[in-house]
A and B are shown apart, each in its own frame.
Chain A
Amino acid sequence: MSLLEVHDLTVSYTRRGRWGRPHARPAVHGVSFAVEPGEVVAVVGESGSGKTTTAQAVIGLLPPNGRLDGGRILLGGTDIAGWSQRRLQAVRGAQIGLVPQDPANSLNPVKPVGVQIGEALRIHRRGDRRTITRRVVELLERVGLPDPEVRARQYPHELSGGMRQRVLIAIAVALAPRLIIADEPTSALDVTVQKRILDLIDDLRAESGTAVLLVTHDLGVAADRSDRMVVMKDGRIEERGATRAVLGAPQAAYTARLLRDAPALRAPRFLSTEVTEAVEAVEAVEVPEAAGAARAAAATGATGPTGPTGTGAVCEPPEPAVVVHDLVKEYRAGGRPFRAVDGVSFEVPRGTTHALVGESGSGKTTTARMVMRLAEPTSGSVAIGGAETAGLRGARLRALRRDVQLVYQNPYGSLDPRQSIADIVEEPLRNFGLGDRPARRERVRELLDRVALPAAVLGRRARELSGGQRQRVAIARALAPGPRVVVLDEAVSALDVSVQAQILDLLGELQRDLGLTYLFISHDLAVVRQISHTVSVMSKGRIVETGTTRQLFENPGHAYTRALLAAVPGTAHRPAGQDGTAHRLPAREGAARRLAGQEAGR
């Protein structure tokens, strides 16, 4: 008998439409799958696919406007779909544990973490105060937190994201449930932390034979960690089966597309050869007058070829587009100076992409802000197109702003919700006084066409667009004043993989056509591998390694780079890592056997 069987699950959300009349919108239609004891089943899909709704329905915690319309949820053979909340309370925590998505906000900020772990035991009346206290310390130790007695008394804000997720895992396993629902458990974490957390879940699963329903948007994570997977799209199952079979020979066209788009699972293909082409093309066109004319044409919306045309003229090797030398940013926190960026130097050749890779707190965004002069460096220098940016003021600082544009991570927050798309894209042109009104309007249309958006979006507001469309608008806005350098700060991190792939393709195309130089800030090594020519790896404010993308990925020199690379999910699926998958299998079989032993012992 399966541990969990979901049959024909149908869930809808009620929205109040016009005139306050409620209308139900189905979110999950006829979803069926099963989870066997001790196995990991991944539910994979993009945003809006219904994967989280499915998980919430299983544990009976749909949002207030969500409704279970039909289907059966068999937990150990008992249908819990129609159970009252009161009956489900006995199941939650005891038989099904939950590891939530967002460790930053998933713990009550005003209670010590020990109390919050112990609460799971108190609710189900497992032991008196003393045994609960002891058990909490044991659990904290089990999930790998040093000094568990001290940790138990700490508040969530005193712990890092990874530590909080460990606390949340301790809560989920406190009562040794048979099933753990992990809803995007590591999406908000750095890649090395992600690996350790997923390892921990794996260990706990192997140790106690707990099954895991792993909800994730990350095919790499699913590939590495699951036995079987369910691929969802628009509330329906597209495909399900053994993970290796699904990934090896996808049956559904949608799965195949997801696989093609997932950067971590793509075959390594480096841009190193294209660097020279791009640079040559740009070098060729960087005859001053020609370049100036092209930029002016681009900025005012005049027709004619705006991209590099390759006149064949051979020049001196040009200045790199961006030169950063010994950049330092020091903050004073409570009298003690703290170096967020500590002696960073790198160069970006014209027309290429340089990636700054690092985990949160590594100083990559601060570096980017100083490159743009949105933050003043404590010391060191930045040169854009051969001109020092330090001390620029007034008109010359404005000229720099025109030259260096930014595309920010969050396409939801970076567009003014009250402006129309046309106004948003036109704003830089207005600010810099480029062209008259008809010329600007023409240029806006051209820019939207450039980023492959239909003219129909001109009059719309940002909220009417999807995440990918919004990011295209943000790119169009960045291109509007005709910059030479574009800083992309985690510009694709918030997007679904298929949209991410489209935006990355667009960025590559724009770079080739317009000779743009990118400074690409990212925590995601798989994306970096795909888009960048050269990479700097940052850790604790310093660059630990710099090189071409191929060098860095194929022959990492620094231990930290190697650790980062090893932590990229999806590595176990790639041919090189397949033995990794293989050696995990015995552990799983061991767990199954142990479970069988337990069953027999009863």
Chain B
Amino acid sequence: MSGSARYLLSRAGQAALVLWAAFTAGYVLLQLLPGDAILIKFQNPELGLSPEQIAEIRSYYGTDGPGAYLHTLLGFLRGDFGYSIDTGTPVAERLAEGLPATAKLAGAAFALAVLIAVAVAFASCHTRLSRLRGALQAVPSLFVSVPAFWLGIVLIQVFSFRLRLVPVIGGSELQQLLLPVLTLAVPISAPIAQILARSLDQVRTQPFVPVVAAKGASPGWILWRHVARNALPPTLTVAGLTFGELIAGSVVTETVFGRNGVGRLTEQAVNAQDTPVLLAVVVLAATVFVLVNLVVDLLYPVLDPRLRRAVA
């Protein structure tokens, strides 16, 4: 027990290290950007501010000086992300506003992506017709090459303007979610489907499969009870990695569909070079990514008993 507790602790430690590295890299990169939010906001000659006054504002926001990095880091550790330079409101408040909408979008998109992936992979694995099989195997590569912004625009064109199935403005929450979720889910489902289909094919060639068949099992029984479980671990890894894409994709999707969320917030913050907001978004994305992959790692020994010994 102490062995697995130690394992858990070390994994959590690694996760914390990754988060710190993400924070630092984000901080340094944002500092390196030419110009900053304060210049963008206060440089306008009509405001009539002298360079000295701008420097004063800068020190007020704490974006300058040698102690700034440590100050910001400690702030993040306390849950204080500072103030948005663009709007003057606390960053935490702005994040909290956008988070529920984005969580709903990303969560639904991920669920749909998994559904599409499983359907495509199992269909291509189950079918005996070689032509259909080939077509299904080509689906992931097609999906992955579809750009999210283009897909979003096409979906709006077809479903909202032509078919008038989904209103562009207004409509129920579900209707509002439908197209963005689809836009986000399609490219994400591709790598999951690809890896799942490949692992299913690979597991099916293993010698234990004919042994199960020799017990009198049907193809469905073999696929669902034996092959699927063995094909899961690599798929899970890829699914965890797609969370990075999910976050990046939500920026584009929310912009295209005009939804207020973290993605939209990111887009605005980039335009305004609103460093504190951007840094908070980077750290938030990194946290989600690290946590999801930590969970994936911890699931591995649950799925594959051969890994349990190494853990304990």
Contact = CB atoms under 8 A, between A and B. Distances in A.
A98 interface: yes
A80 interface: no
Interface string B197-229: 000000000111011111111110100001001
Interface string A34-66: 000000000000000000000000010100000
B221 to A, nearest CB: 7
- From A86, A92, A97, name the one whose CB has the most chain B CB atoms within 10 angstroms: A92
Interface string B179-209: 0000000000000000000000000001110
A94 B214 CA distance: 9
Interface in A307-339: none
Interface stretch (A4-12, A116-124, A358-366): A116-124
Interface string A171-184: 11010000000000
A157 to B, nearest CB: 5
B214 A61 contact: yes
Interface string B284-312: 00000000000000000001111000000
A97 B210 CA distance: 12
Contacts of A109: 208, 230, 304-306
Interface stretch (A99-107, A244-252, A490-498, A556-564): A99-107
A98 B214 contact: yes
A92 B217 CA distance: 8
Interface in A139-193: 155, 157, 168, 171-172, 174
A419 to B, nearest CB: 28
A204 interface: no
A106 B221 CA distance: 17
A157 B304 CA distance: 11
Contacts of A124: 216
Contact of A86 (B207, B208, B218, B305): B218
Contacts of A155: 305-306
Contacts of B208: 105-109
A109 B309 CA distance: 14
A93 B215 contact: yes
B215 A101 contact: no
B304 A110 contact: yes
Contacts of B206: 105
Interface residues of B, number: 21
Contact of B217 (A91, A97, A119): A119
Interface in A72-131: 85-86, 89-94, 96-98, 100-102, 105-111, 119-120, 123-124
A270 to B, nearest CB: 39
Given A109-B305, A110-B305, A155-B306, A97 B214 contact: yes
Contacts of A157: 305-306
B305 A119 contact: no
A100 B211 contact: yes
A72 B232 CA distance: 41
Interface in B209-263: 210-219, 221, 226, 229-230
Contact of B207 (A101, A123, A171): A101
A123 B221 contact: yes
B3 to A, nearest CB: 10
Contacts of B221: 123
A91 B213 CA distance: 11
A108 B213 CA distance: 12
Contact of A100 (B207, B217, B226, B305): B207
Nearest to A91: B216
Contacts of A91: 216
Contact of A98 (B211, B218, B230, B304): B211
Contacts of A105: 206-208
Contact of A110 (B210, B211, B213, B230): B230
A155 B230 CA distance: 14
Nearest to A96: B214
Contacts of B215: 92-93, 119-120, 123, 171, 174
A107 B211 contact: yes
A15 B304 CA distance: 35
Contact of A106 (B211, B217, B218, B230): B211
B210 A61 contact: yes
B212 to A, nearest CB: 7
Given A106-B211, A171-B211, A94 B306 contact: no
B303 A110 contact: yes
A172 B221 CA distance: 18
A111 B224 CA distance: 13
Nearest to B207: A105
Contacts of A168: 211
B217 A123 contact: yes
Contacts of B219: 85
Contacts of A61: 210, 213-214
A119 B213 CA distance: 11
Contacts of A174: 215
Contact of B230 (A59, A94, A108, A120): A108
Contact of B214 (A85, A93, A111): A93
A93 B216 contact: yes
A364 to B, nearest CB: 26
B24 to A, nearest CB: 37
A500 to B, nearest CB: 24
Nearest to B221: A123
A100 B212 CA distance: 11
- From A59, A107, A110, name the one whose CB has the most chain B CB atoms within 10 angstroms: A110
Contact of B216 (A94, A101, A108, A111): A94
A100 B210 contact: yes
A102 B207 CA distance: 8
A109 B206 CA distance: 11
Nearest to B210: A61
Contacts of B214: 59, 61, 92-93, 96-98, 100, 172
A332 B94 CA distance: 56
Contacts of B218: 86, 89
A85 to B, nearest CB: 8
A90 B216 contact: yes
24 contacts: A61-B213, A86-B218, A89-B216, A89-B217, A93-B214, A93-B216, A94-B216, A96-B214, A100-B207, A100-B214, A102-B207, A105-B207, A108-B229, A110-B229, A110-B230, A110-B305, A111-B226, A120-B215, A123-B217, A123-B221, A155-B306, A171-B215, A172-B214, A174-B215
Which 7 A-B pairs rank lowest in CB-CB distance, beginning with the nearest? A98-B214, A93-B216, A92-B216, A93-B215, A120-B215, A155-B305, A105-B207
Interface of B: 206-208, 210-219, 221, 226, 229-230, 303-306
Interface of A: 59, 61, 85-86, 89-94, 96-98, 100-102, 105-111, 119-120, 123-124, 155, 157, 168, 171-172, 174
Given A89-B216, A93-B215, A106-B211, 11 more contacts: A61-B210, A92-B214, A92-B215, A92-B216, A93-B214, A100-B211, A106-B208, A110-B230, A119-B217, A123-B221, A171-B211
